[in-house]
C-alpha cells in the first residue's frame, strides 16, 4: 500500500457527556477511494469535521501530506488540498451554477475570468455543463448534489471528503453519479466518502471503515466488512446483508 | 374497497411554471400506494398541492367523502390528510414532547394525552428522549419523531415523503417494518420514495410520475416486473 495521504491518530471529541468520536485512527492511502459507513448518529460527519478542521479534537492528531494539521482552520486545510462537501447542500440560490463553482475556484485563483473558466471545466467533469447559466435554486436535488461536488473540486483538492453525495438520488441517478466519482479518482483525486448507498460503496470503495457509537468497529474490503456479524448487527441489518450477498453471488 | 383519496386532472405549479399537467391518482382505504419518479418529476409538488401548501390551478381533490379542492391546509389537516414532509422538518429547538404535541394542534387535540402514549409505545426511543431538543437527535431519530408527530393527528391517510432519506440500511429496514405495522393497524399510506425496490415490495399499487404526469401505474408486482420501470428507476 502506498504511503498515507491522511493519517488520523486516536481522535476523540465529546459534546458534553456524549462521546461522539472515540479513539479513532485511520490511514487514507494516496490515490485511493475509501468509504466511511455506520448507523445514523455514529459520528461519521463529526469525524469528517475533525479531519477537515471544522472541529478541534479533544485529543489525537491529524496529519495530511506529512504535516500536522490538527486544529488548523478549514481554509488552511483546503489550501493544502483537503476539501469536504456537506450533506445538506447550500448553494447561493440566486447565483448561477458557474458563479457558485467559481467560489471554490477563488481559493487558488484571484482572477475572476480564470475562476469562471475553471468553473466551466469543472462543471463539465460532473455533467453540469448544460446548466452553467441557470440559477442554482432551479436545480433539482440531483443537480445540487453535483454542484456541491463541483464547488469542492474547484478548490483543486488532493483529498476530497464526500458527505453523502448520493443521498436523495433515485437508483438511476445513483448509477449516473458512480462513474463521476470513479473518474475523479482516475484523475488523481483521493476520495473518502460517507455513504449509506451500499451498492455504490460495494462497487466503488477499496476499503471501508465502519463507525458505530463513535468507535471504529471494523475495516477492510467491502465484501469482507459487509459479512462481519458485528457490522450486520449494528449497521446493515439482515435484510440488506442478504441482498448484498445475493448481488455478490450473481457477480 | 372504496376510494379514500381521489385526484382528478390536477394541475399546479409555481409562478409562470406549470409543474403538474393533469394528474389522476386514487388511494383506496387500507392501501399502501407508492409514488415514484425522478427528482424534479413533481412528487413533492403533488403532495404540497394535495395538502393545500401549493395552489391548485385545475382539477379536483376528493378525500374521505369531502371536496378538498383548493381548501386551506388547515382544513386538509382537519380532514385527516396528514403529510410527513421530506427532510423531517422537526422543530430543532423544541423538545421531542413539544414536537409531538404540535402534531395534534389542529386535529385530535382532545385525545392528545392518549395518542402521545400510543406514539411513544410505537417509538420507545422517543420516550427515552422526551425532554431532549429535537435538533440534537440523529437523522433516524428525527425521522421517527416526524412520523410520530404525523400520527398524533390521527391520520386517515398518511403521506410519507422520502422517509428513508439519509438513513442507514438497518434504519431503513426498521422504517419499512414500521410502515407495514402501521398499515397492518389499518392506516392508509401514500409513500413517496427513492428506495424503489423496497417500496414496491411493501406497497399494493404504484404510480410513476414523469414531467408532471402519470407515466405508469398499476399493481406493485407488475411494475417491479416491467422493463420500462426497471430501466428508468431501478438502474438495472
- In three-state secondary structure terms, B187 is coil
Residue B109 backbone dihedrals phi, psi, to 5 degrees: -65, -35
For range A166-184, the mean pLDDT: 88
The whole-number pLDDT of residue B190 equals 97
Q: Is B132 exposed, middle or buried (0-12, 13-18, 19+ CB in 10 A)?
A: middle
The whole-number pLDDT of residue B235 equals 54
**A159: its cell numbers:** 483529498
Residue ranges of chain B whose pLDDT lies below 70: 1, 231-236
**CB of A240 within 8 Å of any CB in chain B?**
yes
Which one, of A89, A198, A74, A72, lies nearest residue A139 by Cα? A89
**CB of B174 within 8 Å of any CB in chain A?**
yes
Between A126 and B229, name the one with better pLDDT: A126
**CB of B139 within 8 Å of any CB in chain A?**
yes
**Sign of dihedral through CA atoms A120, A185, A171, B189?**
negative
Of A141, A164, A198, which has the smallest distance from its Cβ to B39's Cβ? A141
The whole-number pLDDT of residue B1 equals 58
**CB of B2 within 8 Å of any CB in chain A?**
no
**Sign of dihedral through CA atoms A76, A81, A85, A90?**
positive
Tell me the nearest-neighbour CA distance from A57 into chain B, angstroms.
19
- Asked if A172 and B235 touch (Cβ cutoff 8 Å), the reply is yes
Of A41, A169, A239, which has the smallest distance from its Cβ to B194's Cβ? A169
Q: Quick one: closest CA in A to B232, which residue?
A: A172
The residues facing B34 across adjacent strands are B191, B206
Interface-testing mutation among B92, B141, B194, with chain A (most A C-beta atoms within 10 A): B194
- In three-state secondary structure terms, B101 is helix
DSSP state of B89: -
What one-character-per-residue DSSP string does chain A give? Answer: -PPEEEEEEEEEEEETTEEEEEEEEEEEETT-EEEEE--TTSSHHHHHHHHHTSS--SEEEEEETTEE-TT--HHHHHHHTEEE--SS----TTSBHHHHHHHHHTTT---HHHHHHHHHHHHHHTT-GGGTTSBGGGS-HHHHHHHHHHHHHTT--SEEEEE-TTTT--HHHHHHHHHHHHHHHHTT-EEEEE---HHHHHHH-SEEEEEETTEEEEEE-HHHHTT-HHHIIIIIHHHHHHHHHHHHHH-
Contacts of B236 in chain A (CB under 8 A): 171
Please calculate the CA angle A169-B53-A138 and round it to the nearest 5 degrees: 45
Contacts of A143 in chain B (CB under 8 A): 39
Cβ distance of B174 and A237 shorter than 8 Å: yes
Which one, of A161, A117, A162, A168, lies nearest residue A144 by Cα? A168
B153's CB contacts (< 8 A; 6+ apart) are B77, B80, B82, B103, B104, B106, B107, B108
ipTM of the complex: 0.71
- In three-state secondary structure terms, B179 is helix
Q: Chain B 200-219, CB below 8 Å of chain A: which residues?
A: none
Tell me how many residue pairs between chain A and chain B have CB atoms under 8 A apart. Answer: 88
**What's the pTM?**
0.79
Domain ranges of chain B: 3-80+156-234, 89-143
Alpha helix (H) residue ranges in chain B:
43-50, 73-78, 96-102, 112-122, 124-128, 139-151, 169-184, 196-202, 220-225, 227-229
CATH fit for domain B3-80+156-234, picks 3.40.190.10, 3.40.50.300, 3.90.1150.10, 1.25.40.10:
3.40.50.300
What is the rounded CA–CA span in Å between residue A164 and residue A168? 9
Give CA B13 to chain center in angstroms.
20
Please check the confidence at residue A2 and state whether its pLDDT lies above 60.
Answer: no
The whole-number pLDDT of residue B192 equals 94
The whole-number pLDDT of residue B234 equals 60
The whole-number pLDDT of residue B154 equals 95
Of B38, B138, B231, which has the smallest distance from its Cβ to A41's Cβ? B138
**CB of A222 within 8 Å of any CB in chain B?**
no
The residues facing A194 across adjacent strands are A36, A163
Buried b (16+ CB within 10 A) or exposed e, A90-123: ebeeeebbbbbbbbbbbeebeeeeebbebbbebb
**CB of B133 within 8 Å of any CB in chain A?**
no
Which bin fits A15, alpha (ψ -120 to 50), beta or left (φ > 0)? beta
**B197: its cell numbers:** 425496490
Please check the confidence at residue A1 and state whether its pLDDT lies above 50.
Answer: no
Tell me the nearest-neighbour CA distance from B193 into chain A, angstroms.
8
Interface-testing mutation among A20, A39, A238, with chain B (most B C-beta atoms within 10 A): A39
β-bridge pairing B213-219 and B205-210: antiparallel
Which one, of A54, A61, A68, A130, lies nearest residue A96 by Cα? A130
What is the rounded CA–CA span in Å between residue A153 and residue A124? 12
Amino acid at each position: 500500500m502506498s504511503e498515507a495521504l491522511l493519517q488520523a491518530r486516536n481522535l476523540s471529541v465529546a459534546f458534553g457527556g456524549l462521546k461522539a468520536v472515540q479513539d479513532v485512527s485511520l490511514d487514507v492511502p494516496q490515490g485511493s477511494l475509501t468509504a466511511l459507513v455506520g448507523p445514523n448518529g455514529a459520528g461519521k460527519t463529526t469525524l469528517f469535521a475533525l479531519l477537515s478542521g471544522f472541529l478541534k479534537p479533544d485529543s489525537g492528531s491529524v496529519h495530511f501530506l506529512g504535516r500536522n494539521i490538527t486544529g488548523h482552520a478549514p481554509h488552511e486545510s483546503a489550501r493544502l488540498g483537503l476539501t469536504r462537501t456537506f450533506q445538506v447542500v447550500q448553494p447561493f440560490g440566486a447565483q448561477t451554477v458557474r458563479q457558485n463553482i467559481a467560489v471554490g475556484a477563488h481559493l487558488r485563483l484571484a482572477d475572476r475570468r480564470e475562476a469562471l473558466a475553471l468553473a466551466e471545466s469543472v462543471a463539465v467533469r460532473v455533467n453540469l455543463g448544460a446548466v452553467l447559466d441557470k440559477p442554482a435554486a432551479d436545480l433539482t436535488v440531483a443537480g445540487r448534489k453535483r454542484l456541491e461536488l463541483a464547488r469542492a473540486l474547484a478548490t483543486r483538492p488532493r483529498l476530497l471528503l464526500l458527505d453523502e453525495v448520493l443521498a436523495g438520488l433515485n437508483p438511476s441517478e445513483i448509477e449516473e453519479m458512480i462513474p463521476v466519482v470513479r473518474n475523479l479518482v482516475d484523475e488523481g483525486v483521493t476520495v473518502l466518502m460517507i455513504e449509506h448507498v451500499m451498492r455504490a460503496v460495494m462497487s466503488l470503495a477499496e476499503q471501508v471503515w465502519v463507525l458505530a457509537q463513535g468507535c471504529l468497529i471494523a475495516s477492510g474490503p467491502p465484501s469482507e466488512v459487509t459479512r462481519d456479524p458485528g457490522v450486520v448487527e449494528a449497521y446493515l441489518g439482515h435484510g440488506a446483508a442478504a441482498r448484498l450477498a445475493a448481488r455478490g453471488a450473481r457477480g | 374497497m372504496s376510494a379514500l383519496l381521489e385526484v382528478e386532472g390536477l394541475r399546479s405549479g409555481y409562478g409562470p411554471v406549470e409543474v403538474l399537467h393533469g394528474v389522476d391518482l386514487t388511494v383506496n382505504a387500507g392501501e399502501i400506494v407508492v409514488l415514484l419518479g425522478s427528482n424534479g418529476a413533481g412528487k413533492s409538488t403533488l403532495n404540497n398541492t394535495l395538502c393545500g401548501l401549493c395552489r391548485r390551478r385545475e382539477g379536483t381533490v376528493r378525500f374521505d367523502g369531502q371536496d378538498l379542492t383548493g381548501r386551506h391546509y388547515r382544513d386538509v389537516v382537519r380532514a385527516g390528510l396528514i403529510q410527513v414532509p421530506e427532510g423531517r422538518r422537526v422543530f430543532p429547538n423544541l423538545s421531542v414532547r413539544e414536537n409531538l404535541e404540535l402534531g395534534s394542534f389542529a386535529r385530535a387535540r382532545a385525545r392528545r394525552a392518549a395518542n402521545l402514549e400510543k406514539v411513544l409505545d410505537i417509538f420507545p426511543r422517543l420516550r427515552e428522549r422526551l425532554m431532549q431538543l429535537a435538533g440534537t437527535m440523529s437523522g433516524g431519530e428525527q425521522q421517527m419523531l416526524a412520523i410520530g408527530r404525523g400520527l398524533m393527528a390521527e391520520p386517515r391517510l398518511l403521506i410519507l415523503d422520502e422517509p428513508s432519506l439519509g438513513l442507514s440500511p438497518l434504519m431503513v429496514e426498521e422504517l419499512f417494518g414500521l410502515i407495514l405495522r402501521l398499515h397492518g393497524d389499518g392506516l392508509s399510506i401514500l409513500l413517496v420514495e427513492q428506495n424503489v425496490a423496497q417500496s414496491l415490495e411493501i406497497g399494493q399499487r404504484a404510480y410513476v410520475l414523469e414531467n408532471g404526469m402519470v407515466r405508469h401505474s398499476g399493481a406493485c408486482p407488475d411494475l417491479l416486473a416491467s422493463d420500462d420501470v426497471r430501466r428508468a428507476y431501478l438502474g438495472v
